[in-house]
Amino acid sequence: MPISDTLALTGRSLKKWIRNPATIMPALFISVFWLALFGSSFNPTNLIPSQVAGYTLIPATISAIKSQMLTQSFGGAPDYITYLVAGIVALVIITSLAFGGIDIVLDRQLGFLNQLLVAPISRSSIYFAGVWQNFVKAMVVGLLTFLIGLILPNGVQLGAGFSVLSLGGVFVVFGLIAFGLCSAFTAIAFSVKSIDSAVAIGNFLLFPLIFVSGAIFPSSSFPDWLKYPAEVNPVSKAAEAARLLIVNGNLSASQLSVFEGDLAYLLVFVLLITLLGLYVARRALAPR
């Protein structure tokens, strides 16, 4: 797989994207909507009643209940928006990837892909160019979403030990889940013939990946039949690992063990999905 071919094709797609910056706006709108509305207005800790059985709870009691809820159910996050931000970054990354294959389908419909298939370029280069261009787009959107969470009023509160190294760890985690899912969605884009099919499959996969996971709410609150799918969902592993760094900064020995387990899980996921995606894409691009 000549790297120069992959870089050239990736650069072509990214130049098209840079020349049309408006394409990034829907993802940023989703980020603001989820973080501002769900992170603040729909904060579960705000549902704690001020009166119970006719008795008015004093503010100290309500504060203690909120603190206990955040500690037990939301990983010790100081507020819900801090818990939520890792899930929202995952959501916008996956949304970007789910529909990023539309450009590939357009290349097929406009004949550009057919020109590549008769050129002296390996099928692997064509596939990985599709993966990398969507990966870069998704990571840019993910980083901007994280920054939005930080600058919102009453926004994300980073852990006391959060550092540049912690930030790097957060985006290593998101990079892994992005690359794995990007490999899958790119292979799907090469396999379908119409934009409608790509959008339908993207929608079909998007919602279970996000909502059958611990990205938005803790999976411990799920019904028993839904807990296992949520626990094995790689999005849950990515959100959990990123959240550990965001909330705590410096990790304790037990937290580090959980983080390393999630990272190993994601590495295996990326390897398997990338190999499977390459196999599917090469079959889809094979001469018929």
3-state secondary structure 70-103: HHHHCCCCCCHHHHHHHHHHHHHHHHHHHHHCHH
The structural domain count of the chain equals 1
Whether the model pTM is above 0.85: yes
pLDDT at 56: 64
Is 58 a member of any domain?
Answer: no
Q: Is residue 222 part of a domain?
A: yes
Q: Average pLDDT by consecutive 10-residue portion of the chain (288 residues)? A: 78 82 76 79 64 62 66 75 90 86 80 76 85 91 90 85 90 94 90 85 87 86 88 93 90 90 96 92 77
Tell me how many helices (H) and strands (E) the chain has.
Answer: 12, 2
What's the CA gap between 4 and 120, in Å, rounded?
12
* pLDDT the model gives residue 171: 92
Domain extent for 212 = 3-43+79-285
- Within a domain: 24: yes
- Residue 52 host element (H or E): strand 51-52
Per-residue model confidence (pLDDT) at position 169: 93
pLDDT of amino acid 47: 58
31, 17, 244: which is closest to 144 by C-alpha?
Answer: 31
Distance from C-alpha of 11 to C-alpha of 96, rounded to nearest angstrom: 18
pLDDT at 264: 96
The answer to whether 134 and 97 have CB atoms below 8 angstroms apart is yes
Question: Packing angle between helix 195-211 and helix 102-109, nearest 10 degrees?
Answer: 170
pLDDT of residue 57: 57
Residue 126, domain member (yes or no): yes
Classify residue 186: in a domain, yes or no: yes
In a domain, 74, yes or no: no
Q: Which residues contact 85 (CB under 8 A, 6 or more apart)?
A: 35, 39, 145, 146, 149, 156, 246
pLDDT of residue 45: 66
Residue 152 lies in a domain: yes
> C-alpha dihedral over 27, 30, 36, 37, to 10 degrees?
180
Answer whether residue 229 is part of any domain. yes
